[in-house]
Structures are given as structure tokens and as C-alpha cells.
Amino acid sequence: MSKDIGVAVIGTGFGKKVHIPGFREHPRTRVVAVYHRNINKATQIASEEQIPYACDRVEDILSMSEVRGVSIATPPFLHYEMAKQVLQAGKHLILEKPMTLNVGEAKELYRIAQNTGAVVTPDFEYRCVPTWQMLAQLLESGYVGQKRFIQIDWIMASRADANRPWNWYALREKGGGALGALGSHSFDYIPWLFGPVRRLQAQLKTTVTSRPDPETGDRKTVDSDDVGFINLEMADGTPCQFTLSSVAYQGRGHWVEIYGDRGTLVLGSGNQKDYVHGFHLYGSQDGSPLAEMAVAPEYEFSHTYKDGRLAPFVRIVDRWVQGIDSGKPELPTLREGVYSQLLMDLTHESSDRQEVVEVPALESILGSDR
């Protein structure tokens, strides 16, 4: 099946930086429309990017016969209503993380997609990064043996400056915070790499409690989390400790460490400016020194872009296209998106109640049909 897939892009921040060029790079996708709530802005972007149509109403996009698929790259508080419209129209969807504001909304999107046959692919890009794919292969092969302990640190400086202007990210009710921005990714790759979670205990904190209004300069309240400590017990009994922060000057970056009875694997990057470039994978067996491991050629990107997010996004698009062609979504699917959202909801619940919470099996809330 070689027919182009016409795509509309909703969201012109990350959508303009990554989605539009990503669809342009894929041989089977073509951006035919762009949405912005301000029609003048939409028209400007359409002109700059040579996109045929500019819209300020989602309904107008969905009425276009040229549009077979839609990508949504808006802030998370807009995801549910927009995605609901897209799926009810029977259009295929790439949805940015976090999926929604709560697992109930994510489950409803899943139900609609099941009924309409729409293929939904969350943009969980770490599944498509070469070093991460190599890590998954090594874990599957039993490189570390019986897992004893997992340590995850994602400690960044993106919001360490308390004078960074206030926006929606400052509000928990809008889906803001480090948990949504970073933890949504982690809550996809943790079950991907290590299996489901049995229970968790969390403490979320807001350490930067106000930021300047970009228009007036007055300090406005921040109530979204910027630091988190989460203890997980995996279904196989393995303990996993996860620390995240977006307010750590000179933070160590993003690291995943797995310790087993046969060996150790360490994947990490200290790159504070690019969340994809800079990862290195190290391994050790039987007590030997850690040594950097080469990535298998089949996992390497065929092209490296200045913006590291672009290459894995193109791979996400490719999985989406394969799912559309076959009628069967490729991983990650919306089921994985629902599970990530469930774990985020339970993290908030555990932190609010200061209690350990049990994690239900995904099948118990969605059913077993894939």
C-alpha cells in the first residue's frame, strides 16, 4: 500500500518543531492542514510550511476528505476533547503525551477507537531510540539475570530558574508538572522494559511555588509538581526507585540502571538540551568493570537531525503508518497510553493520601482484546 496519508497537525509549538518536519520526512505521509485557534497564526504557519489548508476549527479539519489522520501536539488539557472529535470522525491519530488529564478520559478514547477502528499511536519516542532498543534486547536475552533492583533518575534543569515565565505548565489541573512531562514517558518505558507494576508509593513536591506573569510580571501561583520520588514494586517483585525533577541546576540527566544476579546495565545521558541525543549504554557481567556497549546496526538511525526528537518521531510515524496499512496498531498503542496515564493518576493519589496504592492489571480496566 503506497498511497499517501494526508495528515492534519493540531498544535503549532512542538507540532511545528517536530510533527510537521517529521511527517515531511516520512515517505508515506503528507501534511495537508494545520490548526491554530487563531486563524491568522494558522494561515501564517501554513504559508511558511507550504501546507494547503489553515484552520481554526477542528470540525473543519475533520470534514476534509484529504485528511486520513491527525496529530495532536497541544497542551494536555486540550487532548481529550480534540482526540474525541478526531476518533468519532474515524480519523487515525498520533497523540502526544500525557494522553489526557486522567485515566477515565484515556479509557473513553480507547473505547471510541475500538468502536471506530481508528489507529492511535502515542508519541512514546524512547521506544524508538537506538540505545533504548538495544537495552530492551539485552534485558530480553537475560543479560542481567534475575533482576535485583532498578534505579531511574531523570533530573533536569529546564525549570530551575524561578523567573521562567508562568504558563499552563504551572497548573496541576491543566496537566502541568514534571510527572506529566517526564513521568509519562517513564511510565511507558518501565512496563515496556520491566513488565507491569504491582504497587507504588509516591511523594510529589512543588519547590518553585510562583513564577512571573509574562504580561504583568506579577508572581502567580504554581501548584504543579517539579520534584518526585516514586517507589515501585514490579509484578515480578523487583523494586524500582524513580526520582524525577525539572528544577535541578546541573542535574545528572536521564539514567536507568538495572542490577541483577548476573550483571548490570546502565543507560544514561547528561545532555540537558536534547532529551534524545547523548545516550550511552554500559554493561557488566560477573563483576567485571562497566564498559560501553556498541549498538547493533539494525537499531541505528539512518539519519541524524539537529533536533534529536525528530528521528524517533519519524519511527513513531512509521509504526503508525504500518498500523493503518494492516488495520492492527503497532506498539505503542493507546493501551500503553492508558497504562501510563493510570500510573500517573495513582502517583498523584499516593502522594495526596501519603499511602501505598495497588496498581490494577490493565486488562481489568480495559479488557483483554487487543
Tens-of-pLDDT digits for all 370 residues of the chain?
Answer: 468 999 999 999 999 999 999 999 999 999 999 999 999 999 999 999 999 999 999 999 999 999 999 999 999 999 999 999 999 999 999 999 999 999 999 999 999 999 999 999 999 999 999 999 999 999 999 999 999 999 999 999 999 999 999 999 999 999 999 999 999 999 999 999 999 999 999 999 999 999 999 999 999 999 999 999 999 999 999 999 999 999 999 999 999 999 999 999 999 999 998 988 899 999 999 999 999 999 999 999 999 899 999 999 999 999 999 999 999 999 999 999 999 999 999 999 999 999 999 999 999 999 855 4
Residue type for 284, please? S
With CA atoms as reference, report the closest residue to 196 among 352, 367, 358, 354: 358
DSSP string computed for 269-332: E--SS-SSTT-EEEEEETTPPPEE-PPPGGGS-SS--SSTTHHHHHHHHHHHHHHHHHTSPPSS
φ, ψ for residue 283 (rounded to 5)?
-140, 155
CA distances to 56, 101, 104 from 201, rounded to whole Å, are 42, 20, 21
Counting every residue, how long is the chain? Answer: 370
DSSP string computed for 315-350: HHHHHHHHHHHHTSPPSS-HHHHHHHHHHHHHHHHH
287: left (phi over 0), alpha (psi -120 to 50) or beta: left
Q: Which H/E stretch holds residue 187?
A: helix 184-194
3-state secondary structure 224-238: CCCEEEEEEEECCCC
- Interatomic CA distance for residues 359 and 198, integer angstroms: 5
CA distances to 148, 184, 193, 255 from 236, rounded to whole Å, are 10, 22, 13, 22
- Interatomic CA distance for residues 56 and 35, integer angstroms: 6
φ, ψ for residue 279 (rounded to 5)?
-75, 140
CB-count burial class (<10 Å; 0-12, 13-18, 19+) for 257: middle
Reading the block at residue 210, the C-alpha cell is: 510562583
- Interatomic CA distance for residues 193 and 12, integer angstroms: 32
